[in-house]
Amino acid sequence: MDHTLTLNLPEGVYQVLARRAEQSGEAPETLAIKLLESATQPEASDPLEAFIGAFDSKGSDWADRHDQHLGRSIQQKLRSDQR
C-alpha cells in the first residue's frame, strides 16, 4: 500500500534535492523517495559485531566516553613516539 506524505522543506534542503535530482535525471520527488527508502533500510551488519563482548575492556564507560578514551590513547602513543 502506498501513502501520500506532504513535506515542507527548508529552501536550502529543497535546492540541494532539486540539484541532485537534476544531475541524476530524476524528479525531486523520485529522489526523495529513494533517499527515504535507503534511510529506513536496516544497517548492514557490522563486521566487528561478532567481537562485541568478546573481551573485558577494563572499563564500563566505554560507550559513553569513547572520545576521551581514544584521545588519551592517541596522546600516549604520540608521547611514546617522541621519545
Would you state the pLDDT for residue 9? Answer: 95
pLDDT along the chain (83 residues), means of 10: 93 96 95 92 78 75 80 87 77
The CA–CA distances, whole Å, from 10 to 15, 19, 28, 29, 45 equal: 9, 14, 14, 15, 33
Q: Is 61 helix (H, G, I), strand (E, B) or coil?
A: coil
| pTM recorded for the entire structure | 0.51
For residues 29 and 33, what is the distance between their CA atoms, to the nearest angstrom? 6
Would you state the pLDDT for residue 30? Answer: 95
Grid cell for residue 14: 529543497
Cell 548492514 identifies what position?
A: 44
Where exactly are the structural domains of the chain? Answer: 1-42
Grid cell for residue 21: 535530482
